[in-house]
Amino acid sequence: MLLLPAPLRRAATQMGDHMAALRTLALTLHDVAAAEAYARAHLAPPDYRALLHLVLEPGPGREPRWTDACYLITALGEGSWLSHDI
């Protein structure tokens, strides 16, 4: 399992909010691999969809991150997490 660097791990823990941690890793730091590792460590597989949704709909003024979305779909596999509505 990929471990987050200590400063990021502390920041994510202090946030106590998984979506904020995912947003910081994937969108602010542009480190979707770290966001994937965080999701694997802290979320149940059905909740991985939140990360995919985040990169596809990053918010006002931001473009969808198609490359990151493809990476996540490949990295997280074809599990049941993809079979539900996003």
Q: Dump pLDDT digits (tens) for 38-84.
A: 988 888 888 888 899 999 999 999 999 999 999 998 887 755 555 55
What are the CA-CA distances from residue 3 to residues 28, 37, 40, 59, 63 (Å)? 18, 7, 11, 27, 28
How does residue 1 score in pLDDT terms, banded at 50, 70 and 90? very low
Give me the pLDDT at residue 42, please: 87
Q: Which of 8, 71, 70 lies closest to 42, judged by CA?
A: 8
Report the C-alpha gap between 83 and 38 in whole angstroms: 21
Q: Where are the domains of the chain?
A: 6-82
| Residue 86 pLDDT | 46
